[in-house]
């Protein structure tokens, strides 16, 4: 028999109310011992599911708090088990006392995500919906919230089920052929090949959209780089509209990576200010530069800053040789001073198209709008970037499962000459796809999925 679990469902800080959740077979027997209805005619046998009751939590005869109790009777609850939510006063001291009392009476503290895990195991939600719950809780911007909501509402599940059905259709086509296997017509073989190729194309599109989905969910990684003193930290502050990084006239001011999140033209970014790259003077600076280069390598977009008021030197060119492998914008800074370079000139020198070059003054906040517009255009246009409205998948585990499914289908297409072999590959593809919405039995995988949840979920 399952244990009965409890956890605070709200953040343990002083607030108007705090909510404690209970789920499991002992929910009502335990509550009987510690909850006293304010209106005497009620008791746990005659109350309805989804009803709210005023009453007191008491430890023997000592009243701890006046609370509102909401009951959910199995199977009509979030977890599918008997459940209750106690809304008490939002004082961490009271919340802890009630939790202790529940545990003293036989409940167990929930693990991370255990409520949602039970919901999944009891068939109340699919695995991808469970993951969406975690994303909903942790979303920090509109786009990621939207993506999580879509997943929660089952849009992704429907798409996956649709895909699954198509693959099953192919299997049944093959199996019919195998029944009359004396002469499998080539026409059938071609038809099956075409069907599999269509499915593969759909999966590949999904994988592609998942890359964007994951990037949007986590924030697009935007790295500001350039040699010392070109104004990187000034630009960071200007994009963040706050004095986040120290700015001085001394080259080598920023030693470590400075990170923040920011919304640029409606898109979520993680932005990184880095140590200026040059032949380092000391150990700390050297380490900072190593980190900078690593950060550039994993970025989605790099802002390569140059000081337009001074002559370019070999530091600039060295940095550019790192930057040019990435998606980048060249930012000519210090436009308030007399510039030595026009955008045309820079375009020639760095062999870069002008739609990736912009002139600004980080100090005077000039040209910043042109820069943010350019950032948006580049992110959206790159690889026909699909706007978040078209993205249904934003979870790395799902992307990997789709990749495995695609591999299996490719193998199946290769093996079409021997249907018996091909059919095994196709069935493997189905297994991978099933893993997305939940036919996973391996405890370790499940645990690793649910451990990222917060306790009360």
Ligand X SMILES: Nc1nc2c(ncn2[C@@H]2O[C@H](COP(=O)(O)OP(=O)(O)OP(=O)(O)O)[C@@H](O)[C@H]2O)c(=O)[nH]1
- Does position 254 interact with ligand X (CB under 6 A)? The reply is yes
Pairwise CA distance, residues 170 & 192, whole Å: 7
Instruction: State the residue for tokens 């939590």.
Output: 57
Cα–Cα nearest to 170, from 156, 153, 189, 152: 189
The pattern of x and - marking residues 190 through 229 that bind ligand X according to CB under 6 A reads ------------------------------------x-xx
Distance CA 404, CA 98 (A): 47
Report d(CA 303, CA 356) in Å as an integer. Answer: 10
Q: Which residues contact 117 (CB under 8 A, 6 or more apart)?
A: 111, 130, 446, 450
CB of 369 to ligand X, least distance (A): 15
Binding region for ligand X (CB under 6 A) out of 45-53, 90-98, 154-162, 334-342: 334-342
Query: Of 66-74, 109-117, 225-233, 373-381, which part binds Mg ion (CB under 5 A)?
Result: 225-233
SS3 256: coil
If the CB atoms of residues 274 and 388 are measured against ligand X, the closer one turns out to be 274
334 binds, among Mg ion, ligand X, none (CB under 5 to 8 A by kind): ligand X
Q: In the set 8, 18, 252, 288, which binds ligand X (CB under 6 A)?
A: 252
Strand 328-333, strand 357-359: pairing: parallel
> 442-455 burial, b if ≥16 CB within 10 A, otherwise e?
eeeebeebbeebeb
Q: How far apart are CB 87 and ligand X at their closest, in Å?
A: 50
Check residue 229 for interaction with Mg ion (CB under 5 A): no
Q: Which is nearer to ligand X, 55 or 288 (CB)?
A: 288
Residue numbers 392-411 binding ligand X by CB under 6 A: none
Contact with Mg ion (CB under 5 A) among 254, 299, 333, 388: 254
Q: Cα(21)–Cα(4) distance, rounded to whole angstroms?
A: 10
Q: In terms of CB distance, is 18 or 228 closer to ligand X?
A: 228
Min dist CB 336 to Mg ion, Å, is 18
Tokens 């979520």: give the residue: 268
Count interface residues toward ligand X (CB under 6 A): 23
Taking the C-alpha atoms of residue 250 and residue 446, their distance in angstroms, rounded to an integer, is 52
Where on the chain is the footprint of Mg ion (CB under 5 A)?
232-233, 253-254
Where on the chain is the footprint of ligand X (CB under 6 A)?
226, 228-234, 247-249, 251-254, 276, 333-334, 336-337, 361-363
């Amino acid at each position: 028999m399952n244990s009965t679990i409890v956890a605070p469902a709200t953040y343990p800080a002083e607030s108007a109310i705090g909510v404690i959740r209970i789920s499991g077979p002992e929910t009502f027997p335990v509550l009987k011992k510690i909850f006293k209805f304010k209106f005497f005619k009620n008791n746990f046998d005659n109350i309805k599911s989804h009803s709210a009751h005023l009453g007191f939590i008491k430890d023997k005869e000592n009243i701890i708090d006046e609370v509102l109790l909401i009951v959910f009777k199995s199977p009509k609850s979030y977890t599918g088990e008997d459940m209750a939510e106690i809304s008490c006063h939002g004082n961490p001291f009271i919340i802890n006392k009630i939790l202790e009392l529940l545990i003293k009476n036989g409940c167990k503290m929930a693990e991370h995500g255990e409520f949602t895990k039970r919901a999944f195991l009891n068939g109340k939600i699919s695995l991808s919906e469970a993951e969406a719950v975690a994303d909903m809780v942790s979303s920090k911007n509109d786009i990621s919230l939207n993506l999580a909501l879509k997943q929660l509402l089952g849009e992704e599940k429907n798409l996956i089920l649709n895909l699954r059905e198509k693959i099953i259709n192919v299997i049944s086509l093959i199996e019919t052929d195998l029944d009359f296997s004396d002469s499998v017509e080539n026409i059938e073989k071609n038809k099956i090949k075409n069907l599999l190729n269509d499915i593969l194309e759909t999966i590949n599109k999904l994988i592609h959209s998942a890359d964007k989905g994951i990037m949007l969910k986590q924030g697009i990684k935007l790295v500001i780089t350039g040699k010392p003193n070109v104004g990187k930290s000034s630009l960071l502050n200007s994009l963040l509209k706050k004095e986040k990084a120290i700015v001085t006239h001394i080259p080598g001011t920023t030693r470590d990576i400075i990170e923040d999140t920011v919304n640029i033209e409606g898109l979520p970014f993680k932005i990184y200010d880095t140590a200026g790259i040059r032949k380092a003077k000391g150990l700390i600076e050297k380490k900072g530069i190593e980190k900078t280069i690593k950060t550039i390598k994993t970025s989605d977009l790099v802002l390569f800053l140059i000081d337009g008021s001074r002559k370019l030197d070999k530091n600039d060119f060295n940095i550019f040789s790192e930057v040019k492998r990435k998606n980048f914008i060249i930012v000519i800074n210090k436009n308030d001073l007399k510039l030595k370079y026009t955008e045309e000139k820079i375009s020639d020198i760095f062999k870069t198209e002008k739609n990736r070059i912009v002139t600004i003054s980080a100090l005077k906040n000039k040209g910043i709008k042109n820069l943010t517009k350019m950032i948006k255009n580049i992110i959206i246009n790159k690889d026909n970037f699909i706007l978040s409205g078209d993205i249904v998948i934003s979870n790395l585990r799902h992307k990997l499962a789709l990749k495995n499914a695609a591999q299996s289908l490719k193998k199946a297409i290769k093996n079409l000459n021997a249907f018996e072999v091909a059919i095994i590959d196709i069935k493997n593809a189905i297994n991978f796809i099933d893993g997305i919405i939940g036919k996973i039995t391996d405890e370790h995988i499940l645990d690793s999925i649910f451990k990222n949840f917060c306790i009360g979920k």
